[in-house]
Amino acid sequence: MDKHLAVINGTQVLDVLVQPGDDDVGRSRRLGLPNEFLLSRRDGLPFGENEDIYGLVRDGEKLYASAPATVGIDREREPRRRAR
């Protein structure tokens, strides 16, 4: 049995059918989203890239599509500090 989800991508709301065995890459391609986009619940914790979310979501649930964030400091670009 398919589950209907609403995927929110900025200002777009997309209707998605989820089937057992679907992963994020397959859903992203069907929705026309870049493969690197992640799906998450409102709490912001993304589902794994190859995770089968069929058993984790409820029919009619809202998910959010977002680009992954880069976290941390790029040591190559950080200004050098003078030794004292």
Strand-by-strand arrangement of the 3-9 sheet: 12-18, 3-9, 62-66, 38-40
In tens, the pLDDT along 13-35 reads 888 888 887 766 566 667 777 77
Q: Answer positive or negative: Cα dihedral of 54, 59, 60, 61.
A: negative
Q: Measure Cα distances from 40 to 9, 33, 48 in Å.
A: 11, 14, 9
pLDDT for 26: 66
Residue ranges of domains in the chain? 3-66
Q: Please report which helix (H) or strand (E) contains residue 39, including its range.
A: strand 38-40
Taking only the tens place, the pLDDT of each residue in 48-82 is 877 888 888 899 999 888 887 755 565 665 555 55
Q: Provide CATH code, domain 3-66.
A: 3.10.20.90
pLDDT at 60: 93
Give yes or no for residue 42 having a pLDDT over 60: yes
